[in-house]
Amino acid sequence: MAQKVVLITGASSGIGYATALAFAQKNHHVIGTARREERLAALQQQIAGLPQPHGDFLPLAADVTDAQAMQTVVQKTLERFGRLDVLVANAGIGQRGLLVDSDWADIEKVLRTNIDGVLHSIRAAVPAMRQQGGGHIVTVSSVTYNIIAPYMATYAATKAFVSSIAASLREELAGDNIWVTDFLVGRTKTEFNEHRLGGGRVRTSRLPQMTAEQVAEAIVRATDQRRKRVVLRWIDRLIVLGGVFAPWLIAQQVKKQYQ
């Protein structure tokens, strides 16, 4: 594969962290952004210790909710590597609880991170991709994007936004040779679940969990293909289909888990 320059948001943990490692192992250059500088430093050390050949890693502390910060990230990427081939818009946060009773600060943080953060990242990256003649955007959405999701309505709505934006962008950017892949992630074993905002009881799910490494490898593969949407497992495909053909059934299962 040709060596690529890949920008990954939310690279300090979970899927973002694993994806940065996966790209670097394939000898691609990686720019990792997150707010936690110490996590990015640890990731940089881990990449530096990979067997040769491996790609370079540029850690850039930035908050995706800050439009200017993301513009600066892309500028520094171009200064270091001269181009930007792939954006993995991964940064996101979860939230649970009754929509009306949840703290507005929690809801706003989810909206700003999961919606504004994706938009700021894309709007910063696209001009660089246009100038060089093309690129690839991977939006990290969720299998919850099309389901009725009581007690996690805000999170699911933000993922519906992400998937809708991805579909529209694919058409808007086709003439610029910029492809958009919407990656629908199912239940994955990461810190994400532990760091969900809000309260409420969560029952142990019977759904099998993927590892962050499995998701990361699939994201790397997706950048060598032109797929509109990626859903990794059969169980996740059933959830997506259930949101279309049996939304009441999915809603009941979600309600039991998060009530």
Q: For the residues 176-205, what does the mean pLDDT come to?
A: 82
CB atoms within 10 A of CB 176: 15
Q: For the residues 211-225, what does the mean pLDDT come to?
A: 95
Q: With a cut of 60, say whether residue 200 has pLDDT above it.
A: no
**Higher pLDDT among residues 173 and 204, named by residue:** 173
pLDDT tens profile 125-157:
999 999 999 999 999 999 999 999 899 999 999
pLDDT tens profile 28-87:
999 999 999 999 999 999 999 999 999 999 999 999 999 999 999 999 999 999 999 999
What are the catalytic residues? 155
CA torsion angle 122 53 79 120 (round to 10) = 10
Report yes or no on whether pTM surpasses 0.85: yes
Position 253 scores a pLDDT of 82
Residues 6+ apart with CB under 8 A from 18: 211, 212, 213, 215, 216
Q: Give the N- to C-terminal CA distance of the chain in Å, as an integer.
A: 47
pLDDT tens profile 101-111:
999 999 999 99
